Amino acid sequence: MSCLFIFIALVLSSCVFGSLTTSATALDQTCGNKVVNTIVVDQSGSSGKFRKVQDAIDSVGLGNDLWIKIKVKRGVYVEQVTIPMNKSCIIVEGEGQRVTTITYNGNKATDVSTTFTSHPSYVVVRNLSIMNTYNRLDSLPTTTSNGMSWNIKPAVALNVYGDKSAFYDCDFLGLQDTLWDNQGKHHFKNCYIEGAVDFIFGQGQSIYEDCKINATAGALASKVALGYITAQGRQNPSDPSGFVFLRGSVSGSTSVYLGRAYGPFSRVIFIQTELSSVVHPLGWDSWHCDAHKWSLTYAEVECKGAGSDMSGRVPWIDKLSYSAAKQRFSISNFIDQDGWISNIPSF
């Protein structure tokens, strides 16, 4: 896949670094700061009006501009969920990671086989698991019934297009292309993200705060000798996008690069992250954008752990200081300049 092809595909603090401070500009009051209505989803039918998450979303009025909570009771919901562009200000809330799960077995084009797709701005998802089971079930055969080898294909769990969207205490599980951080400013906090190949990718402008990254191919470990955590698609120097990993950890069972270039100005920063021995000594891969490798912004700032040894890293890695990282990539400066995060209703 060339950089040109990628471009065409993508065109469609307080004392503690990373605290949720707001800038001096006026707060973004879109959607208000209170939930005005709660819709309950219960697949057992014992409570709530709806048995499917998508039915509850469909019931929200077009042009919605006040926070509506969709409370999803415990259970495994086998369905594709899409929040359309004209339905902002929606909170989808489960009862806990691995307690409430939305899952689907999609393996066609990434834009139509995603388990959970969010199009509008101002969407919050919390306390649930989102999974694409394709290529990751423990019971998945490595060969088909006719003896042909099983092909690993992109299978997206989450695709987020909308600006100013947040994901708290969620699991995202897949193998290839698990989380499509497509575009817009996003805040992921206390999340668990699992996969092996480009499993956090896209052109989003996002901070992953205190997230656990698990690099594993599961049942297909023998098919994936080497993986990649990120494939970030920044296209030019003025493009504000980038992935910032603040604290959290990288672990797993599959050797992985921290990232490979999904665009000629790809940008990924790991700050104070615990890196286990699964991180490949080279750390980063310029992929099909080798001619632009000195334009890539890849940095590891005050990371620790067995995988944080910088002596074998690629020579074109960024030498970013902690003070510079704090200034440029804090939550308040990178994604929350107008305080939209502070306006999200509490539980």
pLDDT score, position 218: 79
Please give the average per-residue pLDDT across 215-238, as a whole number.
90
202 pLDDT higher than 90: yes
Confidence of residue 42 (pLDDT cuts 50, 70, 90): very high
Give the model confidence (pLDDT) of 303-327 as tens digits: 999 999 999 999 999 999 999 999 9
252 pLDDT higher than 90: yes
Residue 216 or 225, more confident: 216
Active-site residues, by number, are: 177, 198
Residue type, 246: L
> Among residues of the chain, what percentage have pLDDT more than 90?
78
> Among residues of the chain, what percentage have pLDDT more than 70?
88
Lowest mean pLDDT among 73-77, 146-150, 205-209, 248-252: 146-150
Closest CA relative to residue 302, chosen from 229, 249, 247, 258: 247
Mean pLDDT of the chain: 89
pLDDT score, position 152: 81
Confidence of residue 25 (pLDDT cuts 50, 70, 90): low
55 pLDDT higher than 90: yes
34 pLDDT higher than 60: yes
Residue 20 or 290, more confident: 290
Give the model confidence (pLDDT) of 136-176 as tens digits: 754 444 544 444 445 788 899 999 999 999 999 999 999 99
**What are the domain boundaries of the chain?**
175-336
Residue type, 19: S
Confidence of residue 204 (pLDDT cuts 50, 70, 90): very high
Confidence of residue 266 (pLDDT cuts 50, 70, 90): very high
The pTM assigned to this predicted structure is 0.90
User: What secondary structure, in 3-state letters, does the chain show?
Assistant: CCHHHHHHHHHCCCCCCCCCCCCCCCCCCCEEEEEEEEEEECCCCCCCCECCHHHHHHCCCCCECEEEEEEECCEEEECCEEECCCECCEEEECCCCCCEEEEECCCCCCCCCCCEEECCCCEEEEEEEEEECCCCCCCCCCECCCCCECCCCCCCCEEECCCCEEEEEEEEECCECCEEECCCEEEEECCEEEECEEEEEECCEEEEECCEEEECCHHHHHHCCCEEEEEECCCCCCCCCEEEEECCEEEECCCEEEEECCCCCCEEEEECCEECCCECCCCEECHHHHHHHHHCEEEEECCECCCCCCCCCCCCCCCCCHHHHHHHHCHHHHCCCCCCHHHCCCC
Superfamily of domain 175-336 in CATH is Single-stranded right-handed beta-helix, Pectin lyase-like (2.160.20.10)
Please give the average per-residue pLDDT across 270-288, as a whole number.
97
2 pLDDT higher than 60: no
pLDDT score, position 131: 97
